[in-house]
Structure 1
Amino acid sequence: MLASGIILFLLNLPPASLAKLSALGLVAKLLLLSLLKLRLQMTTTTWIYSVMRQRRIRRLQRRGKLQRSQLRRKKVESPLFSWMLNHGMMRLI
């Protein structure tokens, strides 16, 4: 929201303004960096949850409560992980 307001403000400056171009470049860089940071956080979160899921599967297999054939049928994700997947907050690796 703030970035779009800044861009609209900069577009109203005189067309030949170098300040306009450099400011637009700066805003674009900031937006790109924030998107990359968000993507990195999501990837890290996905990785952490996949590691947690694998640990849960191994623990259930050790206890004899989960056979390999049951992996596709049985829910082994935590409720939070399932909620995040269902709401598009994470992607599967």
Structure 2
Amino acid sequence: MPGTVFTVMFFAGAFIGIVVMMVAVWRSRALPRAAVLLLVAFQAADIVSLPFPTTVIAAAGLLWMAVSLLRARGVRAGRPAEDMGGGVHAVERS
């Protein structure tokens, strides 16, 4: 019985947590909205228990998010990311 309660609490918390996170990402407009929808579609497909590996949907959404974040930061072809903030810069002395 305690194992069942723990399992239900875990899955309910994970489901609600992912949906709340995707709502926050949707509102921030930091990532493509279609990628966010893929993760919400993964949650819905996982509840319905489709005869399809639903993790493929989640992996596609997360990969899309990762690529768009890397492109936004300018990390391509081994080039270091550009400075995003107005912080203090270290100066190298030789």
Tell me the TM-score normalized by structure 1: 0.37
Q: Which has the larger radius of gyration?
A: 1
**Structure 1 or 2: more helix by fraction:** 1
Compute the TM-score of the two structures, normalised by the length of structure 2.
0.37
